Structure 1
C-alpha cells in the first residue's frame, strides 16, 4: 500500500499528498496535459522522460498569453528571410529532459507551414524555421502552452557559461599537446637529439597559449580581488600558474630540465578551468530553466497602441494595461471598472474591484478580461515596482575563508623563500635554489580543492534536482550551514497560491455541457477563484472550452456568456445573477439562465506537510518566523496552526517593513522563503533565499534556489544535503593539507621534479574526486 510519501505525480514526477488514494496527479494542470499528450499520440514523451522530475503544470496550461510580441517578431524575421525560409530563436520555459525536446519539435512540425525546429535544452532555446506567410507562430506558442511550456523572447546568453566552455575546450587541447611534446623528455630523450629543442619550444608554446587563454581568467580575478582587498581561491591558483610558467621560461633559457613545468602549467590550467566550469554548470542550467519575470512590463503601450518606454512615463501619462499585465507605476483608472490583484504587494489574495478614478498601486496585476486605461501618478524612477525589480545582489563574502587564505598564502610564500635561501646558501647553486622555490609554489596550488569542491557542488545540486529543488548559486551551500532562523511569507509560500475548492464533488456531478460551459467561463482568467476551478475541472481529464464564446465580465460581480442555443451561463457572487442556497456559506454560484447549478466554497489551504515540517524544524533547533502583508487574523490563525510563536509572526507588512525585520534579526543565519514581489526587498536582506515556482514567476531570478510541487518536505533533504556536502569538503580539505605538507617536504628536500609533480597532481585530484563521489553515493532520505 502506498503512503503519502510514495505518491509521485503521473505526469511531472513530483511528490504530492493525495486527497484520495486513487489520485494520480498533483494538480489539474498535470492531469490535463497527461490526457492531451495521450490524445495527441505523444506517449513516447514519457518513455524519453523516464524518472526525471519536471515542474507541475498547475494553471499554466489554462491561461492564455498575449503573443503580440511574437507575431511582430515573426513578421520581422520573414522580412529578413533571404533563402526562402524564415527563422527565429525563442526562449522556452519548462524544458527539463530529452522528452521535452522531442515533444516541442513534434508539436511544431504539426503546425502548418513549419519546416524544422531545433531545441537546446540548456539554456532553454528553440530555433524555428518556417515558410514565410504560411505559419502562425502565435498559434504554435499557444499549443505548447497547453502542454506546459511558455515561449518568450531570447535574452542575453550567459556570457560566463560561454566563456568557460570556450576557454576549457582550448585549454584541454593545449594540455594534451603540451603533454605529448614533454613525454619524450621524460622517457630519456637526449639534449643533443635533433628535435629536442623543437619539442621543448612546442610545449612552451602550448603552455603560453594555455596561460593566455585560461590562466588569464584566474590571474585577472586574483588581481581584481587584491584591488578590492578580497582574497579568494583564485589567488593561489594564479600564483601557481605564474610561478610554474615563469620558472619554465627560466629553465628553457638556462637549459635546465629541472625547471621545465610547461606540461604542468597547461594541465593544471585545464583542470582548474574544468572544475570551475563544472561548478557553474548546474547553477547556470537552473538559472536558464525559467523565463524569469513572466509579467515584466517592458512593452507598455499608449491608448493608441504605440510602444511606450518605461523611462518616458511621467505623472499624467496615459497607458494601457492588458489582462495579465503588471501595472508598473502608481496610477488612476480612467474608464470602466477593473479588477486587480494586490497579492504580490501586500500578500492578500482577494481581488480588488476598482471604479473609475480609483487609485491602483504600482505592481498590481490586472486580472480582469479587458484592458485598463490608466493615468500615471508618478514616474518610473519613483516607482516602488522598479525598486523591487532592480534590487541589486551583492557577491557573497566569507571572512573566515579570507583569513584561511591569508594564512595559507603567507605560509607558502615563507616556505618558498626559505627553501630558496637555504638551498642557495648550502649548495651555492642559484638554479637549484630556484627549482626548489618554484616546486614549492607549484605543488602548493589547491588542485585537489579546485576540482573536488566543484564536483561536490554539482552532486549536491543534482541530488536536490531529484527532489524538485534547483540551486542557482554555488555559494548558497556554505551559507545554508549557518542558518538557524527560517522566515516564511504566508500567501503562496506556506499556503497554496490559489484557494482550494472545498466541494469538488459539486463539479463532478455537473453534466458534461455544464462542465464545459464552466470551463469556458474560467479558462483564460487570472482570477484566483477561476484558476482554482479550472484546475479542479482538469483533474477529471482533458476538457476544452466552447470555441468562439464571448465571455463578458462585470468587475467585482462575475462573468457570463450566451451560448449558440441562447442559454446564459454565469459564474459570480451569490445573488448576482442566481440565488445562493439558504443557510450555507457560498463564495461563488455557477448558474444557467439564473438557475443555480453549483454553489462553490473555497478556503486558503496550507501546503502539504507544512505543519509537520514546521514541527520538525523547530524540534531541530531552528527558529521560525512568519512575515505577511495579509490581515492580522489570518496570520495569527496560520501561526497557531504551525505552532510559530506569536512574537515571531507579523501581519500587514509592507515590503520595506519586511526588509527591516529581516535585517534586524539576521546575523548571517537567515533563510527567507517567499514568492511575491513584496518579498523582493526581504530577499536582499536575508542570507539565503528560496521561492516556489508559481505562475507569477517574480522571484526565481533572485532566489538562491527554487522548488517545484506543493510540499515543503524538501527542506529536510536540503539541509541534509548541505551537511553532506560540508562533510565531503572537510574530508577533501584534510587530505589537501596532508598532501601539501608531504609535497612541500619533498620540495624542500630537493626531491621534487617536473615528472613527479606531473604524476602527483592528477593522482591527488582523482583521489579527492573519489572521496566526494563516495559521500554522495548515499541515497536520498524520503
Structure 2
C-alpha cells in the first residue's frame, strides 16, 4: 500500500457545515482519510494512490458543490518572442493537465493554471524542453493571484449604497413611526438588484448544498431573505399594503456580506506567523556558474543540492548548506533564539533564513526546499494549524445537524404564529428572524481560528506544535518528567574547576599538560579539556595509550625531558586526604574528576561538569506554583543526578533508569494525572511515546523529535513553561469562543421564535457573531511567555 498526502485549497465553503459535509463525503470512500478546515479553507487528503487518483477525489469534491482553488504559476521562457516558436510550445501545453494557460510574448512568460498535485515541475520543464525552451519559474508566483478590489470589496460597497436609503425608515420603525419610509416602487428598485444580483452567490451556494443533499448557512440566508422579498412583493402588488419588508431582505444581505468580509480579513490575520516564516527565505540567491565562471542571481527554487552559493553582508541564507570558503558572522536568532551572532568558518553549517552580519561565505547547498530546517518548520506549522483539536469534534457534531434543525424551527415558528390567530404578515417576520439569527459559522470558527493563532504564536517563540491535539492536551499536564542530560543541562561537559597539588606547577600547567594528553583521545571529556585549554602550546607526545574506563597514558616532552604522565578517573588514583576532600567536594556538586599523575604521584586534578541550562530554577518554581510536579528521569548515576537536583531545587529524582525504565516510570506517574515528558536523546524516545504529551529539544536526536508532539527550537527549560502557558491560554480562548457561540444561539433563537427580534437586528447579530469569535481568537496574539 502506497500512501499519498496533500493539502488542497477549497473554495465555496461558507460555514463549518460545509467543511463537515466535504469531510463526510470523502471519508466514506475506502482508503481515504480527510480532514477539512473551514478556518484556513483547506482539505488534507491522505489516500492509497493504488486505489484512487487525485483527479477522482477532486471530482467528488466538486460534485459535492465546492471547488478546488488552482495554483497559478508564471514561467520565464527566454526566446518565446522569436517568430515561429509558439506553435510547438502550444502543442506541448495542450497535452498537460492545465485548466488555463496564457502566453505573453512581450515579456517572454507563460502563465499556467492547474489543480494542486496534478502537474509536477519536472514534467513541465520536460514538456517545455521538447518544444525547444529552457524555462524557469518566476519566484513568488506559485499561488493564485490576490483578488482585485472589486472582487474583494466592490460588491459590498454597492450593497451598502443600495441599503443606505432604507436607513431613515428603519430608524423610524424602531421609534414606532412610519415617517421616512420610501415609496414601494423605490424600495423594490433598490432591493431587487441587491437580492437578485449581489445576493446571487448565496443562491448558488445554497443550490449546490441542497443538490448535494446538505444544508449550510447560505440556505438559511437565501430562504430568509427570499421570504422577506417575496412576501413584500405579494403585499405590495397583491394587497397594496404599505407595510413591506424590502428593507429587511436588503439589510440582512448587506450585513451578512459585511460580516463575511470582516471575518475573512480576521482569518487572514491568523496566518500572519506562517507568512512571516515564509518571508525569511530570500527569493534570489547568488549561484556559481561554471559556464559563465561567475556568480549569477537565480531564483532560490532553482538551487539544487551540491550547488555553491555566495553570501555577502546582509544576505539571508537561501538554503541549508556547509561553508566551504571564508569566514563570517551569522544571526541565527530565528532558529536558536540566541541573541548573540554566531561565527562561521569552513566546515560549519548554515541554515536557510539566517542572516550574514559580517564577512563573506562561499557555501555548498546540503538541503533545499522543504528539506531545509526552515522548510520543515513551515511544514510543521502548516500541519498543526490545519489539524483538529479533540474539543472541535463537539462543535462539528453540533454544526452537522444545526441547519436542518433551524429549518424545522422556522417552519414550526411560522405555523405556530399562524395557528395562534396571527395573520401571515405577523407570522413571517419571526420565521425569517429564526432563519437569519441561527448560524453555525461562529461555532465552526470557535476552535480552528484559536488553534491557528496559538500554533502561530508558538512558532514565533520557538515552540513547534506537531498537531492541535498536543496543544490542547499540554494544558492538562499535572506531572512533568524531565530528562537530565541535554534537557536540564546543556548536554556537553565544560571545565568546572582545576587544582595543582605539586609545588612549582600551576593549575594552568595541569590543564595544559592534560590537554596535550587528551588531544589524541576521542572521549567527550577529552574534547571539553581541549576546549578549555584553547590555543595553549602543544607539547610533543609519544607512546600514547587509551584505556577504556580508566583514562589515557603517554610520554610528554617537557623542557627537553620526557615525562610519563597519565590522566585517570579519580577512583583509579590513591589521593592524600586533603586532595581527596577537594575531589569529594567537586563530586558532590555533580562534577566528574580526572587526576593528572606521574607514576603514583598525583600532580593535580580537573573537574568537568555538564552546566545547567539557564532559567532552570525559575522554570521549576513556576511549574510548582501552577500545580505541576516536576520529576527528573535519568540514566546517570544517582550522585550526579542528586547534585543537579540540589542546584535546581528539584525533589523528585529517578536515577539509573534504562530507556524502558523511563517509560515504565511515566506509566506510574499517569496514575497521578496527565504526564508530559521532555527529552532530547534516542534513549528518551520510548518515554516520549508513552507520555500524554512529548516535548523534544530541537538540538537532540531525530528519533526524539519524531516521537514528540512539541519541538522546542531554543532548548531552554523556560520554553517548556511557555509551551504550557500558551496551551492554557489557547484552551481558555477556545472555551470562551464556544461559550459565545452557544450562548449567542441559545439566546437569539428563543427571542426570534417569540417575535422579540427584528429580522434586521437578527441579521446584524448573525454577521457579528462570526466576527466576534475570530476577533477574540486574535487577542491571543497578545500572549507573551511568562518567563
TM > 0.5 fold call: no
| Larger Rg over CA atoms | 2
Q: Structure 2 length normalisation: TM-score?
A: 0.44
More strand by share: 2
Structure with higher RCO (Cα < 8 A, 6+ apart): 1
